[in-house]
Amino acid sequence: MVVIYLLVAMLGAAAAFFALQNPQPVVLNFLHWQSGRLALSLLMLFSALAGVLLAALSGLAQQVQLRRRIHYLERVLVEGSAVPKQPPAVGVEAAPAGVDYPRPRI
C-alpha cells in the first residue's frame, strides 16, 4: 500500500511540475468547437478527468451487467430447476448453443 501512495505522490508532483512549466494559455480546436483560452495544464487535467469518467462509466455498465447475471443464477438455484441450456448472454463470455452447463455444487 505504501508503494501505491508513493506512486500517487510522484504522479501528483509530476503534474504540479507540468502545470508550473506550462502556464501559457492555449486554444483547443475540435471539429467546429473552439475552447476559450485556458492554460495547457488545465486542458490536460480536463481531458484526463474525462478519460477517468468514461472508464468509470464503462466499468459501472459491466458491473450492472454482472449483477444481473448473478441475480438470474441465484434465482435459478432457489427455484431448484436445472440450469438452462443457454442462459442470457453476458458480454463476450456467452457460450455456444448446445453446450451443457454443469450443475453448481452446493
Q: Kindly state the cell numbers that stand for 64.
A: 450492472
The distance from CA 2 to its chain's CA centroid, rounded to whole angstroms, is 24
User: Mind listing the pLDDT tens digit for each residue in 32-90?
Assistant: 888 778 888 787 888 888 888 888 888 888 888 889 989 888 888 887 765 555 555 55
Q: What's the pTM value of the predicted model, to 2 decimals?
A: 0.48
Q: Are 69 and 84 in contact (CB under 8 A)?
A: no
